[in-house]
Structure 1
Amino acid sequence: MKDFLKFTLASVIGVLLAGFVGMLLLIVTFSAILSLSEQPVDVKDKTLLMLKLDHKIVERSDKNPLNDLELPGISGPRQTGLDDILACIEKAKTDDRIRGIYLNPSEIDAGLATLEEIRHALADFKESGKFVYAYGEAWSQKAFYLVSVADKVVLNPKGMIDFKGLSAQRSFFKKALEKVGVEVQVIRHGKFKAAVEPFMLEKMSPENRLQTETYMGSIWNQLLADISASRQLSIDELNDLADGVTTFQRADYLMAQGLVDTLLYKDEVINDLKELTSIRENSDLRVIDVKKYAQAPVKTDGKGLARDKIAVIYANGDIGMGTDGSGTGIDPEEISRTIREARRDSSIKAIVLRINSPGGSAYGSEVIWREVKLAAETKPVIASMSDVAASGGYYIAAAAHTIMADRTTITGSIGIFGLIPNAGELLNDKLGITQDVVNTNEHSDILSLTRKLTDFELELLQNYIEDGYDTFIGRVAEGRKMTKEEVDAIGQGRVWSAENALDNRLIDLYGGVNDAIKLAADMSETERYRVIQLPKIKDPLEEWLKELSGTARMRLLKSELGDHYPIYKQLKSLTRTRGILTRLPYDIQIN
């Protein structure tokens, strides 16, 4: 009895201590948040806005202060929103306290269209008469594309620039699946719909290679054109430098070739910036980052008080696949509800649907398309494409009045596919796991993962795919004022760059999200308005607690898989959704 009481008392004390520690942790956490939020942001005169861009750049800042707390094992990767970056650059143009922008990136985790929008914003900033100054010790190709727009491009005397051209690499799983006894049964429409190729081929098909070479060539030419205009180098000269692989060239050679203006060490750069901002040599350089400057109060034009609104609705990630712990994924019901509410809100004069999605569920795409179409019947709807708006991502844009894209956007991929794995051999022969089944009807187990489809079932699913494709091209034809035959000719699952898409009438004009907002205001004849972002951001604490396990799992997988993590994501993305898919052939990583 005495031992029982001791054990019980010890257990109670342990529970109380655990609760106390947990409560203490919460108190400390929220105290830190409150202290951060209560600190006023003071921007001094002669300050530089610094764009280091060392965090992943996402479409929209989540405004969640909990993400800034470094909690071992559960803190996710820190992120910066493109919306904040663009807003800060725009604000700095007319802020007398900001003398210029200091670019100091190295590796940049962002898509090319995202960087294109930032680059254009920096070029516009220079029109104000203020300067953009770039310094680096090691620039990736993406980083160099961005910094090349600066008035002065400075490299460390022992620095490097990774400039070698674009490369897109694919992994194929056919042999690996055969070895473990898994057969992937494929149903698709579109000779260019290459999403299923990794499961059925050992290398790219001729059609896939053709489309990849075409859109990559278009994007590379755009990057060269932008760099050429900024650095006063011909495209031929830039291609020669890329062929020579600047990664392993000396810094003085890179300067002699015109890629940079001068070579300086960091302390010399600081002195140079002090001189440009009229700061005394013995005083500290004044810089402010995007996160802090986004919170800094500035004089406004009164638009923040305007009743009329332009709604920017964000659709980011795979359609109909929910979130995977990384905070991405489009819930068709949520986005549809958001569009519907914006349609019914008389104070919202126009909608900008901001899309960064490779597609996903065909049904989910149809659900969103329907609400976009209904909204377009009552007010202007502009589709603004980010890094990628392909397949289902294009499907949901098709009903908009105007479709805009950056020049480096990847779009198109109008096609449909389905895949059904057959793991019967793996389970039966490799693992010794057998199955038995009882059906009430002949095809009750049609989507079983342990047997092959019959000829009848394959024909049934192929007809289903064909019907889905016919619906898809019909939606596009209706929205783009084309015939089905015209859409089919540029469809077939083919991926296009924005340049090709403009030629093929899949988009209307080039421009970023801010250009789309201005166009929406013009189309709705709205002069005084404020911009709102939708869907509304969920409660930070609730979302943080809900995603703790997912974030920790994601960090563990990234740590264990390393460079193979993108392959894991691709396999997971393609296998977790049943039914037919309107999705980009693969997650395109251009390096």
Structure 2
Amino acid sequence: MKDFFKFTLATITGIIVSCVVLFFVSILILFSMLSSSESETQVRKNSVMMLDMRGMLSERSQDNPFDMFLSEDETIYGLDDILSSIQKAKENENIKGIYLQAGSMGAGFASIEEIRKALADFKNSGKFIVAYGDQYSQHLYYLASVADKIMLNPQGSIGWYGLASTPIFYKDLLSKIGVEMQVFKVGTYKSAVEPFISTEMSPANREQVAVFLDGIWGQMLSDISESRSVSEEKLNEVADKMLMFYPAEDCVKYGLADTLIYKNDVRNYLKTLIGIDKKDHMPVLTLKDMINVKKNVPKDKSGNIVAVYYAYGDIYSGSSRTDNESNIYSDEVIRDLRKLKEDEDVKAVVLRVNSPGGSAFGSEQIWYAVTELKKEKPVIVSMGDYAASGGYYISCNADSIVADPTTLTGSIGIFGMFPNVKGLTDKIGLSFDVVKTNTYSDFGMMGRALNDGEKALMQNMVNEGYELFVKRCAEGRGMTTDEIKKIAEGRVWTGAKAKELGLVDELGGLDKALEMAIGKAGLDAYTVMSYPGKKSFFETLMDTNPGGYIQSRMLKGKVGELYNQFDWLNNFENYDKIQARVPFELNIN
């Protein structure tokens, strides 16, 4: 027994010592990563920037130390970093071109469109762009089509087959387990509730989806046709052939690719373009390298700041409940916008919105904060992939709204949902009883359906919320409520169509919104700064729950677009009962 305790104590001591050593080794590794990430990148002559398009795209990079445990396919890249890096590559005389390595990236069409425009601007400066891919996803072929030369692996393929939206319906599944969703909504096209109460798309929803799919597809056809000198009719014909199942030679035959080449030979081709010998060294700068390249701009001494405030993700009322995902929390946005309002150095604000919506209450609170900010300084909204429903709510009262042609916006409508789980509780043998003091003291009790009086109260609340939403849009856009209602009803529009309808002012990306903000503020000298400020390396390290963060990121990397549906259902109990949002099924394949 004595030997047993000695052995046990020695084992425990060994484990503790190992953990301590591992902790300090991890800290040293993180310190090393931090120092290397902050050191300025020196750009040597005849350099090439490599844009490796794998992983997932977000509005901003997160710089989380636990990313070191994730694969490249699970890495989240910031749109802000990519656009900034392309601009720096354009301005740096030592960088001769961009090597775009295509693959599969989780990204919205509007974000890809912004990167494509930045690449086109880079190309117009006289520098080259070469794209290579083993397989091109449809998103990234659209991006790569701007290149001077598109290279494809001899055994590779190009995904080019058109667009489809394929929502998943849960009604029958819920019925089988005894759950009924009690739905209250305003808006013929408000389709976010359909998966819970139907087994197929409504005619109205099918109509709106067909229209915005045609709009996005038309934009893609137009851009690719111009870049590749292939007619739109031919591109549609090729899409119907499902080219990815044909030999790679057919991609060259139909004009989608220029040459077939193995990846190992691309570097020699790039050296030939630059004009150096194949034996010479060619410096290649990754996105991480480019982030630390110094900008070629003189230091501004005016003290004037143009703020770019990022609001992306689902809209919640209140404060943040988790550090795993980036979302919009009304209390935090209100606090930040108040600080920008009170900061005398901030002369104009660009509100960058990329949100499918969320809490109607939270959206109203942010709307008010934007309205108050607008009284003091110009506010221009720049819309990303989405600025729909609640995303449009928080945008509608800005001085001007800028959207990409493929942005999905509008969806002016509201809904509420209450689950009735009586069927489920009956199945598993649970029963409920109640003692109450007033008529509605047990309102929302899960063990029964809402009664007629409660349903009337819910529908009335939704109706009033819709009328307020319409009023806010009418005031912000200088239209009557009747004019707004004709294009509301929860209908989703592309940015291009929204401009025709008066819901947005200009088509363009973040650069266009900045240009308008600077002009409205009348600034000649200024510095562009991003808000809210990113957490420092150590703040992120201390605030992040490693297990939850890594699990979330790995799951997102594995299931791709389906993650949005999982996350929506997983967080259902955290959502306010009244929502202004588009359905998560708007992720397009």
TM-score range (shorter-chain normalised) is over 0.9
Question: Equivalents in 1 of 2:560, 2:289: separation in Å?
Answer: 32
Matched, 1:342 2:340: yes
1:264 aligned onto 2:261: yes
Change in Cα spacing, 1:232 to 1:5, as seen in structure 2 (3 Å) is closer
TM-score (norm 2): 0.94
1:67–1:78 contact (8 Å) kept in structure 2? no
Partner of 2:68: 69
Q: Which residue of 2 aligns with 1:581?
A: 579
State the Cα deviation string for residues 454-492 of structure 1 (Å, max 9, x = none). Answer: 101101111111110010000000000011111111111
Q: 1:507-546 counterparts in 2 under 5 A?
A: 507-545=504-542, 546=544
Question: Which residue pairs with 1:13 in the alignment?
Answer: 13
Q: Would the aligned equivalents of 1:406 and 1:512 in 2 still touch at CA under 8 Å?
A: yes
User: Which residue number in structure 1 is paired with residue 424 of structure 2?
Assistant: 426
Change in CA separation of 1:587 and 1:353 when aligned onto 2, cut-off 3 Å:
farther
Aligned with 2:133: secondary structure? strand
1:164-199 per-residue CA deviation (whole Å, 9 max, x = no partner) reads 000110011111111000011001111111111111
Q: Give 1:327 deviation, angstroms.
A: 2.3
Alignment partner, residue 552 of structure 2: 554
Q: Tell me, yes or no, if the aligned pair for 2:74 and 2:556 is still in contact at 8 Å.
A: no
- Matching of residue 382 in structure 1 with residue 352 in structure 2: no
CA RMSD of aligned residues (A): 2.4
Give the structure 2 partner of residue 92 of structure 1. Answer: 89
2:109 is equivalent to residue 112 of structure 1: yes
Report the count of equivalent residues.
586
Which residues in structure 2 correspond to 1:90-489 (within 5 Å)? Answer: 90-303=87-300, 305-320=301-316, 322=320, 326-427=324-425, 429-489=426-486
Distance 2:275 2:366 in 1: 53
Tell me the residue number matched to 2:56. 56
User: Using the alignment, how far apart are the partners of 1:70 and 1:182 within structure 2?
Assistant: 39
**Alignment deviations for residues 285-344 of structure 1 (CA, whole Å, 9 cap, x no partner):** 3210111111022432223x4410110111110000746554221111111111111111
**Secondary structure of 1:169's aligned partner:** coil
Q: Distance in 1 between matches of 2:81 and 2:288?
A: 8
User: Equivalents in 1 of 2:553, 2:389: separation in Å?
Assistant: 29
1:28 and 2:28 are equivalent in the alignment: yes
Task: Measure, in 1, the Cα distance between the counterparts of 2:74 and 2:324.
Answer: 9
CA distance in 2, matches of 1:24, 1:56: 31
Which segments of structure 1 move beyond 6 Å, counting only runs of 4 or more? 1-5, 559-563
Output the amino acid matched with 1:456.
Answer: G
Query: Secondary structure of the residue that 2:298 maps to in structure 1?
Result: coil
* CA displacement at 1:551 relative to structure 2: 1.6
Q: Which moved more, 1:47-56 or 1:460-469?
A: 47-56
**Which one is further off, 167-176 or 151-160?**
151-160
The verdict on how the C-alpha distance between 1:88 and 1:456 changes in structure 2, with shifts beyond 3 A counting, is same
CA contact (8 A) 1:76 1:555 kept: no
Q: Percent identity?
A: 42
Contact 1:324 1:550 in 2 (8 A): no
- Kept in 1: contact 2:167–2:585 (CA 8 A): no
Q: Residues 178 and 422 of structure 2 are in contact (CA less than 8 Å); yes or no, is this contact kept in structure 1?
A: yes
| Paired letter, 2:445 | S
Following the alignment from structure 2 to structure 1, what is the Cα–Cα distance between the partners of residues 82 and 203? 40
| Cα distance in 2, alignment partners of residues 585 and 61 from structure 1 | 25
Q: SS at 1:115's partner residue?
A: helix
Give the Cα separation in 2 of the matches to 1:118 and 1:559: 21
* Separation in 2, partners of 1:500, 1:573: 32
Distance in 1 between residues matched to 2:466 and 2:39, nearest whole Å = 55
Give the letter aligned to residue 313 of structure 2: G
SS at match of 2:538: helix
Q: TM-score, normalised by structure 1?
A: 0.94
Mapped partners of 2:583, 2:20: distance in 1: 51
Change (3 A) 1:476 1:558: closer
Whether contact under 8 Å (2:74, 2:557) holds in the other structure is no
Shift of 1:17: 2.4
Equivalent-residue separation in structure 1 for 2:325 and 2:450 (angstroms): 36
Distance 1:500 1:562, change over 3 A: closer
Cα distance in 2 for partners of 1:548, 1:337 equals 27
Contact 1:362–1:581 under 8 Å retained in 2: yes
Q: Assess if the C-alpha contact under 8 Å between 1:325 and 1:554 holds in 2.
A: no
Answer yes or no: is the 8 Å Cα contact 1:398–1:475 preserved in 2: yes
Cα pair 2:311 2:328 within 8 Å, conserved? yes
Alpha-carbon separation, structure 2, partners of 1:586 and 1:254: 33
Q: Give the distance between the partners of 1:229 and 1:376, measured in 2 at CA.
A: 40
Unaligned runs of 5+ in 2: none
Once residues 203 and 337 of structure 1 are traced to their aligned partners in structure 2, the CA distance between those partners, rounded to angstroms, is: 42
What CA deviation, in whole Å up to 9, does each residue of 1:124-178 have, x standing for no partner? 1112111111111210101110010011112222221010000110011111111
Aligned-pair CA distance for 1:4: 11
Is the CA contact 1:312–1:534 (under 8 Å) kept in the aligned structure 2?
yes
Q: 1:291 to 1:563 in 2, by over 3 A?
A: closer
Deviation track 1:412-434 (CA, whole Å, cap 9, x = no partner) reads 1100000000112101x221122
In the alignment, residue 314 of structure 1 is paired with which amino acid?
A: Y
Cα displacement (A) at 1:538: 2.3
Does the 8 A contact of 1:417 with 1:582 survive in 2? yes
The amino acid across from 2:69 in the alignment is: E
SS in 2 for 1:104: strand
In 2, Cα distance between the equivalents of 1:25 and 1:172? 49
- 1:442 positional shift: 1.7
SS of corresponding position for 1:568: helix
> 2:141 and 2:197 mapped to 1: Cα distance?
38
Mapped contact 1:391–1:411 kept (Cα < 8 A): yes
Q: 1:539 to 1:297 in 2, by over 3 A?
A: closer
1:496 has 2:493 as partner = yes
- Flag the 1:162–1:513 CA change in 2: closer, same or farther, 3 A: same
Going from structure 1 to structure 2, the CA distance change for 1:450 and 1:7 (only over 3 Å counts) comes to: farther
Deviation string 1:489-531 (CA, Å, 9 cap, x unpaired) is 1111111111211111000010111111111111101111111
> Contact (CA 8 Å) 2:477, 2:503: kept in 1 or not?
yes
Alpha-carbon distance in structure 2 between the residues aligned to 1:193 and 1:451: 26
Q: CA deviation at 1:205?
A: 0.3
Residue 573 of structure 1 deviates from its aligned partner by 4.4
Give the drift of 1:203.
0.2
Tell me the CA shift for residue 221 of structure 1: 0.3
1:81-106, Cα deviation, whole Å (9 max, x unpaired): 11111111111112110001111111
Find the residue that maps to 2:152 and give its secondary structure.
strand
C-alpha contact 1:192 1:494 (8 A) present in aligned 2:
yes
Deviation at 1:563, TM superposition (A): 7.8
Residues 558/310 of structure 1: CA separation in 2 closer, same or farther (3 Å cut): closer
